[in-house]
Amino acid sequence: MGSSRHGRRVSKRGLSGRKPDNRHAVFALFGTSCARGMNGPLPLGTQRAGRYEIMKPVGGGGMGDVFVVFDPVRRRELALKVLKFSYPRALHYFKREFRAIARLHHRNLVTLYDLHNEDGRYFYTMELIEGVDLYVHINESNAIYEDPKILALPKRQARIRAAFVQLLRGLAYMHAHGCIHRDLKPSNVMVDKNGVTKILDFGIVKELLPGSEGQSLSQVFGTATYMSPEQSQGSRVTTATDVYAAGVVLYELLAGVPPFDGEPQLVMGLHRNTKPPSLVQRVPGIDPQLALVCMYLLEKDPAERPSAREALEMLGEEMDVELAVELEFVGRRQARKVLHEALEAVRGGHGRTVVLEGPSGSGKSALAKAFCAEARIFEAVQFSGVCVHRDHVAARGLDTIVERIAEAWRRSTAEALRALPAIDRAATMTTFPFLSELLPKSYHVGMDEHPPGGPYAAAGLAALLTELCRKRLLVIVLEHLHLADDVTLELLEHLLKPAFTPPILFLITVRPEAIVPDSRVSQFMDQIDHSPNAQRLPLLPLLPDETRRLIQTHLPLSTPAQADQLHAESGGDPLFLTSLLQAMLRDPSAPVPRVDALVQQTVARLDGFARTVLHVVSAGRYALPGSVLQGASMLAADVMYEALDRLDSEDLVRTFANAEGEVTVSPVHARLMELVRRNVSTEELNQVHSRLAQAYEAAGGPAAAIAHHWALAGEPGRAPGFALKAAEEARLAGHDGRAADLLGLVVNTPPAGTDELDLREKHIDALARAGRFVEAAASIDRLLSGQRPPREDQRPGGDGHFHLLRAEMRLLAGQYSAFILEEPSLPLGPARARLAELLVPMDPSRAEALLQNLDTPHASLVRALLAVDIDATGRFAVRATKLWREATLQTHDLRLAVFVRASMLRAEGQFADARAVVDEGLSRLADAEKDPAHVRLRLLRTELALDLGDLNGARQRVRALNAESRLRGLPLLWVQICRLSALVHLESGEHQAAERRLLEADAAWPKEPLTLPVVHVALARARHAFVSSGAAQGAAALRRLEEYAPYQRLLQRRGPANETALLHARIAAVRTAERWRSRDVVGLPSAREALQERLRLLRLVAPPPIGWLEVLTAVSELAGGQPAAVVERLERFVSRPGEPCVRAAAAHVLSVARTDPQERQADALKAANMLRDVGAAPSPEAVALGAVAR
């Protein structure tokens, strides 16, 4: 008789009878709930997790809950597993589970699709299995059978054998790819309605890692009933651990109960010390072959157990797919030499980065693995991570490395984290949450204030790695850079900078053909090219002698002729050479195989749908968007994605998807696709190209791809007509980049009857609107140097229209030197006012010269802006106001009118009024966000936030502009943002971060010819020296700046003059305070006299910095023995609204002047609160007076 089973997974059918109320748990997991006042369940199908529509719950495990969802991209139901714990270690295991298994494709392993993070909720999608667990499948019910007659039924034995053979195949595949399950049991094995066995629930999967890479921190994982002897002792688990668990599962299926039962500790002891009861005695009549294999699998000594593949052979079965035999690494002499030279540099204390480049199968991973093995001779320690496709978690790949380091060196990592500046530590732990587990919660302050990545996280990571490798030789391997996310790339970019490179060896692998042009990966590779500590290492085909050595190593009886034939057939490509060698190892007596024959065998195994998709991918040659592939293959979405799963499992294509579900399909190897195309008829290939061109048109794809496929389809004339129409649609929709690309297709060979000049102008305009100013200038160059230069006097800008437009493009692109060379030949005309406007923040004198003889509203507004900038004594106001009023009566250029008016108010010290003008202007210009002038207004708004002491607002605005400036193609904007960001960091006491941003500013803008941005950055550096290193360093930096003759002209402009005067006065105040505090009666009078002179000069600037004048005058009075005057001066000022940083400095000075201890303490507390509210640090003046601790 059968009895009910307790504690086991029940069938999906059994779970479907849960109470409807449980559906609330689904929605609660994703931060949603019932509407206020409603008690019933929300309707099914109305809630989402990311792009997935949640249908119903189906079960769960120790780490996560599982739901049925509908994927609108794949157009089919999937299972979604959501992490139900929020602590870092749970997330660590959850990510490791996905990343270890998502790369595996086998019919007996559940397929994992995408890992997501939505609003702090982590989940991944996987294949939905319509079936029951292994025990239910074997017994055809949810009951336990112990009757030997029932257990020995032939049909039952046949089901056990069929299911267990598949289980062994899945395990063998896992083990061959370096993964161990560690928790194999009947409830983690499902059998679908077609009888296919699926291993699932890899929550504690372990990867077989080389060297010292961290894993489990000596924790015991698994379920006691199925735990091997070594696993229960916390010893190193191996593939033999899974084999033992498979033996326990088989024993339970054959005998009805596991070999040992009882309390966990008792069961683990029995597994270690007691031989299992004989199966043939317990269940007479069972399959003796199964019983024998089971007892071999349950050997106590792991070395005595057969592998999963050997167990299959003992049962007379074979693998359903060929498992690759790991070959000994041979060759790559030159590449290994380069890597060892880099390692030697690291041993000398210098950081090095080497990027291994090559197509799939070129041996990048094998070379990295072999080199790391050799590096262990020098006691080098390796940590590796892989950027996994369909992984949408920040810092993917890099987070794996950091977590493995933390596991291996827990105490050292914690100590290094404690030593970081608080802001760097918080950002680093936000980016790598696992690190927060190493420190008490008191160190977690500020984590909520940072998104993943950013300069603070980069600085923290660099300092962490530098500290950890102080006594260790460290090699970090990051694979598949072409799949890296923006956070990973941002961190790597910072680590590449010489000032921040830790003394470690970075090995990075990448597929160059998978890099999208102008992407973040492409930008990173450009940085590699310009970094003194980094290099690319392309992996070329193996040389003939390397091929001979490889063949001789693995086939000692082979002849030189066979080796030469293999080299010729493979072309020295390691991917094909390995495939050919594997085939020869399977049958050494067979003739040398051909690559095309192996490819044909693979294609022949595919069904018709998979072949259709493969033909389209092969014709596409490069990565195809999913929508284009579906259109060209003419298949339903669910059918196409099933075909892609099959092609992925055969290592023919890779499917990538972003978090929004936008899918890209990429061929694994270009030559593979070439061999596939050879077996497709010309007629069919033409049809595929025609369908690809139409699919690209429908999807709004790249113009070059559309033209390419129409040409290969034999209809090249169809592309230009489409391009013209689509370009106009893109222009009207505001998609300027696409419009520029489409017009670029036809601009040199326009269709008959097209106005060539009008077409060229539209192309230039689209390029400019897309921020591609260098390309726009080059396009104008081609136009002006053509056989028929245009008549510029007939263009809207009048005579010289295109020359003036080219000059504008060059200024926007930051090509100031090229502009200077062109300037003397520029024609006169009203368009010069636009050039003058762009020149004002670069070189006002040159801007003024351009405006000669121009009398237009635009020119008047620029003159008003120059009047604001030129006069440092305040006499500008009347002239600027008059010009502005006259111009605004005649112009509709709101953007410039707003900018000039706000600049005038700022120059008068009316910061709040200026802010209101900018805010109003931005709201009215919301539809012109792509205009560089709109961004300039936002930059002015950020400067005003700093003027008003609104550090929090300035931080937020800098972050937004920081991200946007990368996309704008505006170097001047970038250098201004870097400078503003550095000033924010200085006010916040973040001196290292400020230094980093100033280094970026230096790199962003040329120092010659000299321009205002260079002077502004130099002044920011002098301020940095003063705040971070003291008055002496600040004064020296300022003196060098003023003594450099080329700077003197620009230092007289209002902005630099004001900044210089204030910095001089503050330096003099700190020197005075230091002498007063140290009771230097000799030096104090002269210091105070110097301060008073600097204050006199500061009162002459326009606008005078009233707040700082009050504070610095109070310092002078305090040093002169007038504390009562200080109290009278500052009491009212401290209570005024605005300028919190200056008022905090005043409160600190006031606290020193007080004689009453309670009043002194109250003032100091008031200053501390003001600084805390805006996230600012105490001023150098306050520190010098001793008002705050140093």
Residue 158 lies in a domain: yes
Classify residue 290: in a domain, yes or no: yes
352 with 310, same domain? no
| Catalytic residue check, 183 | yes
Q: Mind listing the pLDDT tens digit for each residue in 686-717?
A: 999 999 999 998 888 888 888 889 889 988 88
Q: How many CB atoms lie within 10 A of CB 13?
A: 11
Of the candidate ranges 585-599, 624-638, 961-975, 976-990, the one whose mean pLDDT is the lowest: 961-975
When mean pLDDT is compared across 438-442, 656-660, 1008-1012, the lowest value belongs to 656-660
| The predicted structure's pLDDT at residue 1073 | 93
Report the CATH number that the domain containing residue 152 is assigned in CATH: 1.10.510.10
The domain spanning residue 107 has which CATH number? 3.30.200.20
Least reliable range by pLDDT among 210-219, 632-641, 883-892, 1014-1023: 210-219
Same domain, 157 and 258: yes
Are 294 and 344 in the same domain? no
Does residue 685 lie in a domain region?
Answer: no
**Per-residue pLDDT reduced to its tens digit, 152-210:** 899 999 999 999 999 999 999 999 888 888 889 998 899 998 999 999 876 555 554 45
Does the residue 740 lie in any domain? no
In a domain, 699, yes or no: no
Query: Both 965 and 1110 in a single domain?
Result: no
**Rounded Cα distance, 383 and 922, in Å:** 49
Helix axis angle, 682-699 relative to 703-712, nearest 10°?
160
Among 21-35, 106-120, 228-242, 918-932, name the one with the lowest average pLDDT: 21-35
Does 790 have pLDDT greater than 70?
A: no
Long-range Cβ contact pairs of 548-555 (< 8 A, separation 24 or more):
549/330, 549/331, 550/327, 550/330, 550/331, 550/577, 550/581, 551/581, 553/328, 553/330, 554/327, 554/328, 554/581, 554/585, 555/581, 555/584, 555/585, 555/588
| Per-residue confidence (pLDDT) for residue 161, from 0 to 100 | 94
The answer for residues whose C-beta is within 8 angstroms of residue 346's C-beta and 6 or more apart is: 352, 473, 474, 503, 504, 505
Answer whether residue 328 is part of any domain.
Answer: no
Residues 412 and 530 in one domain: yes
Q: Which of 760-769, 787-796, 920-929 has the highest mean pLDDT?
A: 760-769
Least confident of 45-59, 259-273, 345-359, 1131-1145: 45-59
pLDDT of residue 233: 82
Q: How confident is the model at residue 216 (pLDDT cuts 50, 70, 90)?
A: very low
Angle at 341 between CA 335 and CA 347, to 5 degrees: 140
| 3-class SS of residue 973 | helix
For residues 283 and 348, state if they share a domain: no
Domain CATH number, residue 463: 3.40.50
> Which stretch of 407-421, 520-534, 827-841 has the lowest confidence by average pLDDT?
520-534
Q: Which two tokens stand for residue 323?
A: 């498992």
Confidence of residue 35 (pLDDT cuts 50, 70, 90): very low
Q: Is the peptide bond before 824 cis (omega within 30 degrees of 0)?
A: no
Q: pLDDT band for position 744 (50/70/90)? A: confident
What is the predicted pLDDT for the residue at 4? Answer: 38
Cα separation, 774 vs 871, in Å, equals 34
Residues 118 and 149 in one domain: no
User: Distances from the Cα of 285 to the Cαs of 35, 138, 146, 278, in angstroms?
Assistant: 62, 17, 14, 13
Instruction: Flag whether pLDDT at 12 surpasses 80.
Output: no
d(CA 914, CA 948): 11
Mean pLDDT of 928-941: 78
Q: Which among 762, 579, 761, 799 is positioned nearest to 672, based on CA atoms?
A: 579
Q: For the chain, how long is the longest CA-to-CA vector?
A: 112
Give how far the C-alpha of residue 56 lies from the chain's centroid of Cα atoms, to the nearest Å: 33
Look at residues 1052, 1072, 1103 and tell me which one is the last residue of a structural domain.
1052
Torsional class of 612: left (φ above 0), alpha (ψ -120 to 50), beta (otherwise): alpha
Domain boundary among 1025, 1052, 1079: 1052
Percent of the chain predicted with pLDDT > 70: 89
Q: Please state the rounded mean pLDDT for residues 1017-1042.
A: 94
Q: Are residues 454 and 407 in the same domain?
A: yes
Q: What span, in angstroms and rounded, lies between the C-alpha atoms of 182 and 1092?
A: 77
Same domain, 983 and 1048: yes
CA distance 264 to 223: 8
Lowest mean pLDDT among 226-240, 570-584, 871-885: 871-885
Residues 6+ apart with CB under 8 A from 811: 819, 835, 838, 839, 842
Instruction: Find, among 752, 753, 709, 754, the residue nearest to 727 by Cα.
Output: 754
Quick one: 1090 exposed, middle or buried, by C-beta within 10 A (0-12, 13-18, 19+)? middle
Last residue of a domain, one of 314, 347, 380: 314
Amino acid type, 1011: T
376 in the same domain as 234: no
pLDDT digits (tens, 9 = 90+) for 290-322: 999 999 999 999 999 999 999 999 999 887 666
Is the pLDDT at 29 greater than 90, yes or no?
Answer: no
Q: How many domains does the chain have?
A: 6
| Token pair in block for residue 1059 | 């900044």
Q: Which tokens go with 558?
A: 């082979």
Nearest to 102 by CA among 75, 126, 77: 126
Q: Helices 718-732 & 682-699, crossing angle to 10 degrees? A: 20
Lowest mean pLDDT among 28-42, 243-257, 724-738, 1121-1135: 28-42
Give residue 18's pLDDT: 31
Containing structural domain, residue 1036: 949-1052
Q: For residues 911 and 944, is the Cβ–Cβ distance under 8 A? A: yes
Assign 3-class secondary structure to 220-282: CCCCHHHCCHHHHCCCCCCHHHHHHHHHHHHHHHHHCCCCCCCCHHHHHHHHHHCCCCCHHHH
How do strand 473-479 and strand 505-510 relate by DSSP bridges?
A: parallel
Average pLDDT over residues 1039-1058: 91
Q: Please enumerate in sequence order all residues whose Cβ is within 8 A of that of 89, keeping only pairs 6 or more positions apart, or say none.
A: 434, 437
Assign 254 a pLDDT band (cuts: 50, 70, 90). Answer: very high
Mean pLDDT of 64-75: 86
Q: 328: which DSSP letter? A: P
CA angle 144, 145, 147 (to 5 degrees): 155
Q: Are residues 88 and 157 in the same domain?
A: no
1132-1154 pLDDT tens trace: 899 888 889 999 999 999 999 99
**In the predicted structure, residue 65 carries a pLDDT above the cut 90:** no
More confident residue, 558 or 995: 995
Per-residue pLDDT, 60: 66
Share of the chain above pLDDT 90, in %: 37
Task: Give the Cα separation of 419 and 405 in Å (integer).
Answer: 17
Mean pLDDT of the chain: 84
Distance CA 77, CA 1167 (A): 60
Domain assignment present for 709: no
- Mean pLDDT throughout 657-680? 84
What is the spatial distance between Cα 921 and Cα 709, in angstroms, rounded to a whole number?
47
Separation CA 35–CA 756 (nearest Å) = 61
Selected catalytic residue, list 183, 648, 741, 950: 183
Residue 741 pLDDT class (50, 70, 90 cuts): confident
- Of 941, 873, 935, nearest to 903 by C-alpha is 941
Dist CA 1084 CA 1086 (whole Å): 6
Q: Are 617 and 673 in contact (CB under 8 A)?
A: yes
Q: Which two tokens stand for residue 1139?
A: 């300028």
Examine the pLDDT at 1024 and tell me if it is beyond 70: yes
DSSP classification of residue 109: B
Residue 43 inside a domain? The answer is: yes
Ordered DSSP codes for 795-838: STT-TTHHHHHHHHHHHHTT-HHHHHHHGGGPPPSTTHHHHHHH
Task: Supply the Cα-derived Rg of the chain in whole angstroms.
Answer: 36
Confidence of residue 968 (pLDDT cuts 50, 70, 90): low
Higher-pLDDT residue of 801 and 946 is 946
State yes or no: pLDDT of 214 exceeds 50: no
Residues 166 and 97 in one domain: no
pLDDT higher than 50, residue 22:
no
Name the token pair of 32.
Answer: 């949603």
